[in-house]
Amino acid sequence: MKKITVILGIIGFFLLAAGGIVYAIQYEMTLPTAAFLWVGLLLILFSLYANFTDVRNLIAKRSTKYGLNMAIMILIFGGVVVFLAFISTQKSMRFDLTKAGRYTLSDQTVKILKNLKSDVRAIAFYRSESEGMHAQQKQAAEDLLQAYAHHSPHLKYEFIDPDRNPGQAMKYGVSEYRIILLLHEGKEVKVGRETEDKFTNALLKVTRGSVKTVYFLKGHGENDTANQQKGGYKAAKSSIEKESYKVKDLMLMSEEKVPEDAALLVVSSPKRDIMTEELKKIAAYIRKGGKAFFMLDPGYPLGVRSFLANYGFKIGDDIIVDKQSQVYGANYLTPLIFVFDKKHPLTKDFNIAAYFPFTCSVSIDVDEKTGKYILASTGPNSWAETDLKKLEGGEAEFDEKTEKRGPIPVMAVSVLPTPGTELPSKEKTTRAKYGKIIVIGDSDFANNTNINLGGNGDLFLNTLNWLAEEADLISVRKKEQTNSGVVLTVKQGRMIFWIPVVVVPSFVIFAMVAHYARRRMGRQATNQ
């Protein structure tokens, strides 16, 4: 009879454990789960009552006291671990071990967060559900906001359930789910998706004093910002707008001057000469502290070359050949650009190679005191081919007598003081009172086909940001990653947690204790 009661107690223990595991995975009290728990509890209580004398004698033994002391020590150790875990949440270090870098923000976003000077409040309106699609969306938003808050104490966030707090939702004018509202010094911006690019864009909008405008010159065959074909600039326009700029076209021949709100004027590969009156308007704009970005292709209009020569730029009548590019899968008319000036703030931290299809040389007499730099050059195996007829026939070979071996400059900058001012040291050349001109010997590197190739897009956007006096946006942007994660249901997730973390370790501990007790009882029986 005694053995039967002990067996019933063991069965009760397993029933109780099975019921607890099923409940932890399903997270609901079903009839079978309740039956397992109740029957298991009754069997354990019956076994204890039937063997009350043995249980009392066991508790009175010295070995039991030692075991109880050990259990208390284990509980204390566990409490210390929990306490340390709690403390770590107050000051923690983050490690992203995901292949796609899901929890790692881009350098640009981190730079923006580090430069925050005042508090930005983020209010996320999400449903408070424990499972399903809404729970996954809320978790994604919480992961994103935690990553942002980790890099800046000025970004604070909270979650509000519009169903449970309709008054709060009405107060902020939010009538839908999955909205993050950013508040800063009386300004507010709504974000409709929990993605880094949208959130960073909204952060820029809410913290900037005003939205700056980038103008693209039109009327001379320039690259079209509305063109979605391979050679168009639609992708470039979208990339600029993601940096929180307005993008507009400018038909300067019908305007009296470059608009006052122009943060930057882009001249992207004109096919025909720009009229003299238009060039005068551009010159007047630069004299007043305006910023101009010229992207030229081989065969550029001669009038543009003469205009830029007035500012010290030397545009070559050549095409750069780089046969080493074939190693990287490009043709020899697409030189690899990887030599960047490490003294200039625009390129000093830039270390990603760019590809310039069909480019000409752009040089300037370097003078740091007057803000003249060669920003980017090709590699040593390239050369500037001047015999274009031989190049068209596919017989291009380097001629030491007439041609120049690489590195060949393809990007240069000049900073110009406005009348009545003197150009200071290079550390101060980013102020708005100085006109700036950057010239690149290629425009195809930023078209729809090539803007996402290598460092092309980052170089293009960094150039715009430096010219527009937004130095904190100069960085290497995070590339979009595909989500390669395993999608699990809520029950599967709980099962993965409970079985390896709770069930298996508990059975191991149970087996160890049972084995120890059996050996202990065997020794005592031998001694008796």
For residue 361, pLDDT beyond 80: yes
Tokens 């981190």, residue?
110
Please say if the pLDDT value at position 402 is more than 70.
yes
Question: How confident is the model over 224-244, as a mean pLDDT?
Answer: 92
Q: Once rounded to an integer, what is the mean pLDDT over residues 501-520?
A: 66
Q: Is 223 exposed, middle or buried (0-12, 13-18, 19+ CB in 10 A)?
A: buried
Q: Hey, which bits of 251-369 come out as E strands?
A: 262-268, 291-295, 313-315, 319-321, 336-340, 354-355, 362-364
Highest mean pLDDT among 102-111, 337-346, 390-399, 517-526: 337-346
Residue 2: which pLDDT band, with cuts at 50, 70 and 90?
A: low
pLDDT digits (tens, 9 = 90+) for 263-307: 999 999 999 999 999 999 999 999 999 999 999 999 888 899 999
Rg (CA), the chain: 35
86-95, 217-226, 414-423: which range is least confident on average?
Answer: 86-95
Is residue 448 scored above 80 in pLDDT? yes
- pLDDT, one tens digit per residue, over 99-118 is 555 667 887 788 888 888 88
pTM score: 0.64
C-alpha angle 449/295/309, rounded to 5°?
Answer: 160
Q: Is the pLDDT of residue 396 over 80?
A: no
Write the DSSP symbol of residue 249.
E
Lowest mean pLDDT among 308-312, 368-372, 436-440, 524-528: 524-528
Tokens of 259: 């608009």
What confidence score (pLDDT) does residue 429 get? 42
Measured at the CA of 288, the angle between CA 111 and CA 249, to 5 degrees, comes to 70
Each residue's pLDDT tens digit, 172-220: 888 788 889 999 888 888 887 778 888 888 888 888 777 899 999 999 9
Per-chain mean pLDDT for the chain: 82
Least confident piece of the model among 74-83, 208-217, 220-229, 517-526: 517-526
pLDDT of residue 304: 93
Local confidence band at 93 (pLDDT 50, 70, 90 cut-offs): low
Domain 107-201 has CATH 3.30.1050.10: no
Find out whether 375 and 404 touch, Cβ atoms under 8 Å.
no
Task: Return the domain boundaries, the chain.
Answer: 1-60, 107-201, 212-473, 488-528
- Take residue 70 and report the two structure tokens written for it: 């050990």
Q: Which CATH class is domain 212-473?
A: alpha beta
Q: What is the pLDDT of residues 25-76, one digit of tens each?
A: 776 777 788 888 888 888 877 777 777 676 666 666 666 666 667 777 777 7
